[in-house]
Amino acid sequence: MQKNIPCPLGVELPAQIDLVEAARYFGARGQPDPGTLALLERCAGPLLKAAAPRAVWLRAGRESLSGLIRGKDAEKHLAGCGECVLLAVTLGAGVDEAIRRLGVGDIAAGVAADALASALAEQVCDAAEAALRQLAAGESLYLTGRFSPGYGDWPIQVQPELARLLDTPRRIGLCVTDSFLMTPRKSVTAVLGLSEQPVTGWRAGCGQCALREKCEYRKRGQTCEG
């Protein structure tokens, strides 16, 4: 694992989108009904055709990222880690356009497509994380899970700095707007802790989530973790 140099990471497109996960993003309560599944299945094909996932990562020392890693929650997640891995993943601009096309004249299809793309982005991130774990294991190193801006008290205002460090505009076509939103929309940035000892990290729960007051899962007595 090279240090301090943004590196491309090969990520394959899954053969299928996880429809159960997509249904949760869609807002389905419990097991999705046949109508919801049919809608998701209809929209999944065009999204998979449009997706062109790309990823980039960077290994760096904790001290060099002191201006980026802010807040108690991110620090807690990285406890015991002397180094970090920054990660950015995008599904590409084609997915944004596919969502727009599917939603023309069919609001439900547009919402379903957005949910499917969110589920697909998560699958691609999982694949990227698995690839990073394999690289780390080759050096007898261990990774925490992903921790993204917006989790807990790690502000989304760090997105421009993350994009700069990873050189995302040039390497994977991911840019950050003045309002700290990413384009293409279905993109993810995250940090993972890297350690010589097994580490688990810390995931911000409902009590720390910025969306807790209007979260539909909490209203139903559930969490976004299932």
| Tens digits of residue pLDDT in 178-187 | 999 999 999 9
What span, in angstroms and rounded, lies between the C-alpha atoms of 59 and 71?
20
Q: Which of 73-77, 87-91, 220-224 has the least mean pLDDT? A: 220-224
Q: What is the mean pLDDT of the chain?
A: 91
Within 13 Å and on the Cβ side, how many CA atoms surround 125?
A: 22
Kindly state the average pLDDT of the residues 121-143.
97
pLDDT band at 209 (very low <50, low <70, confident <90, very high): low
| CATH 3.40.109.40 is the classification of domain 7-219 | yes
Q: Tens of pLDDT along 14-60?
A: 999 999 999 999 998 888 899 999 999 999 999 999 999 999 999 99
**According to the model, what pLDDT value does residue 204 have?**
46
The amino acid sitting at 43 is: C
Task: Report if pTM > 0.85.
Answer: yes
* pLDDT, tens only, 142-159: 999 999 999 999 999 999
What phi and psi values does residue 184 have, to the nearest 5 degrees? -55, 155
**Mean pLDDT of all residues in 80-97:** 98
Q: What is the pLDDT of residues 159-175, one digit of tens each?
A: 999 999 999 999 999 99
Q: CA geometry: angle at 153 spanning 119 and 150, to 5°?
A: 25
Q: Where along the chain do its domains lie? A: 7-219
Pair 218, 209: CB distance under 8 Å:
no
In this prediction, residue 224 carries a pLDDT of: 54
Residue 78 burial (10 A CB sphere; 0-12, 13-18, 19+): buried
